[in-house]
């Protein structure tokens, strides 16, 4: 196997030289302040090593990557009943689109578009206060990464809350169809806080490793979810993790991944490794521009793909 210790620093220097960096998200004002020249990458392997390069120790806002963790928690709480409230199909629309919700009677296409993630958060609120659910999500992520320093960035949460009219519209709309069981304000408040969790690439790669390892984190030895559930979450990441660019991402990169508007991407190489990359500039679909290119180059160098079985032998 080619050596990650050699590949990652080379990736960092080749990407640092590029002038096409995408644009940082501005609709959440706090994210607009992030330095677009940052770039970090970390790979956690099933064999137990974590290799990192660039700004891999710097915290960033995980945003929609948190939807992977809330989905795992919600499935643990509701089981397959969750699928009566949210679909499992790619949307072909932007992450914050409202148009499909009317045709499909308030049932979002998948748990990763904003509407779907709001339903997932709503399901976690059953029997709990928002602050309890935020605490539960945070404890889960800390447990996965084996790192109690992970926390919510209150400034980012407040910033998103102050400009969240669109997500509020999605929440109210679903509430009108009876697909939100709690007040839109409570669901949104919980959602913006889990999106505002800060992590660095090392923590994120470690936290995602259970998905590469059949539901068990080999770094910590913790059993997290069943192998079947891990496989299904990976399937959803592959088909829906990059919104309307999921097909292109599967074509170019070919591993289950989830992006966030903070510029992070979590990629899963089943049976092999978990990869976290961060570059704040986004492409027109709202996914990290250089992060996608970095993953494209990494999987080629390592011969990683869910569509090339020999890579996992």
Nearest to 200 by CA among 60, 11, 68: 60
Q: Which is nearer to ligand DON, 207 or 261 (CB)?
A: 261
For residue 179, the tally of other CB atoms under 10 A from its CB is 21
Q: Which is nearer to ligand DON, 45 or 61 (CB)?
A: 61
Kindly state the smallest distance separating residue 308's Cβ from ligand DON, in Å.
26
Q: Which is nearer to ligand DON, 63 or 91 (CB)?
A: 63
Position with the least CB separation from ligand DON: 64
Nearest to 298 by CA among 3, 34, 62, 97: 3
The rounded distance, in Å, linking the Cα atoms of 72 and 123 is: 12
Half-sphere exposure of 156 (CA within 13 A, CB side): 26
**Which two tokens mark 212?**
């590469």
Which residues are CB-contacts of 72 (< 8 A; sequence separation ≥ 6)? Answer: 140, 224, 225, 229, 233
The rounded distance, in Å, linking the Cα atoms of 234 and 18 is: 31
Q: Which is nearer to ligand DON, 40 or 260 (CB)?
A: 260
Kindly list the catalytic residues: 64, 67, 191, 243, 261
Strand, helix or coil for residue 274: strand
Q: Quickly tell me which residue has 């180059």 as its tokens.
A: 297
Helix/strand/coil (H, E, C) string of 83-120?
Answer: HHCCCCCCCCCCCCCCHHHHHCCCCCCCCCCHHHHHHH
The rounded distance, in Å, linking the Cα atoms of 52 and 244 is: 29
For residue 102, the tally of other CB atoms under 10 A from its CB is 10
Q: What angle do CA 17, 267, 97 make, to 5 degrees?
A: 95
Q: Under the rule (CB under 6 A), what is the footprint of ligand DON? A: 63-64, 95-96, 114, 160, 167, 195, 259-261, 286-287
Q: Which is nearer to ligand DON, 106 or 260 (CB)?
A: 260
Q: Which is nearer to ligand DON, 205 or 266 (CB)?
A: 266
Kindly state the smallest distance separating residue 111's Cβ from ligand DON, in Å.
13
Which residues are CB-contacts of 41 (< 8 A; sequence separation ≥ 6)? Answer: 8, 11, 12, 52, 53, 54, 56, 201, 275, 276, 277, 278, 294, 298
């Amino acid at each position: 196997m080619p050596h990650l210790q050699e590949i990652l620093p080379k990736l960092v220097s080749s990407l640092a030289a590029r002038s096409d960096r995408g644009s940082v998200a501005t609709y959440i004002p706090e994210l607009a302040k992030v330095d677009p020249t940052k770039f970090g990458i970390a790979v956690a392997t099933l064999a137990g090593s974590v290799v990192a390069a660039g700004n891999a120790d710097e915290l960033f806002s995980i945003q929609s990557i948190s939807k992977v963790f809330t989905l795992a928690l919600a499935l643990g709480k509701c089981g397959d009943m969750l699928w009566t409230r949210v679909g499992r199909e790619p949307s072909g629309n932007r992450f914050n689109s409202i148009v499909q919700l009317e045709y499909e009677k308030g049932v979002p296409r998948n748990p990763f578009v904003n509407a779907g993630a709001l339903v997932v958060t709503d399901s976690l609120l059953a029997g709990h206060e928002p602050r309890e659910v935020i605490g539960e999500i945070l404890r889960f992520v800390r447990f996965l990464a084996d790192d109690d320093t992970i926390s919510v960035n209150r400034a980012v949460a407040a910033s998103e809350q102050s400009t969240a009219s669109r997500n509020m519209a999605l929440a109210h709309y679903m509430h009108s169809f009876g697909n939100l069981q709690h007040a839109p304000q409570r669901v949104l408040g919980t959602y913006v806080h889990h999106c505002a969790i800060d992590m660095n690439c090392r923590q994120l790669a470690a936290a995602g490793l259970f998905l590469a390892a059949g539901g068990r984190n080999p770094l910590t030895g913790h059993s997290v979810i069943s192998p079947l559930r891990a496989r299904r979450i990976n399937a959803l990441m592959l088909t829906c993790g990059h919104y309307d660019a999921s097909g292109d991402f599967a074509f170019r990169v070919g591993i289950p991944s989830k992006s966030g508007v903070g510029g992070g991407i979590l990629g899963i190489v089943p049976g092999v490794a978990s990869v976290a990359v961060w570059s704040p500039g986004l492409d027109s679909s709202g996914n990290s521009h250089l992060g996608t290119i970095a993953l494209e180059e990494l999987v080629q160098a390592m011969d990683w793909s869910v569509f090339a079985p020999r890579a996992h032998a």
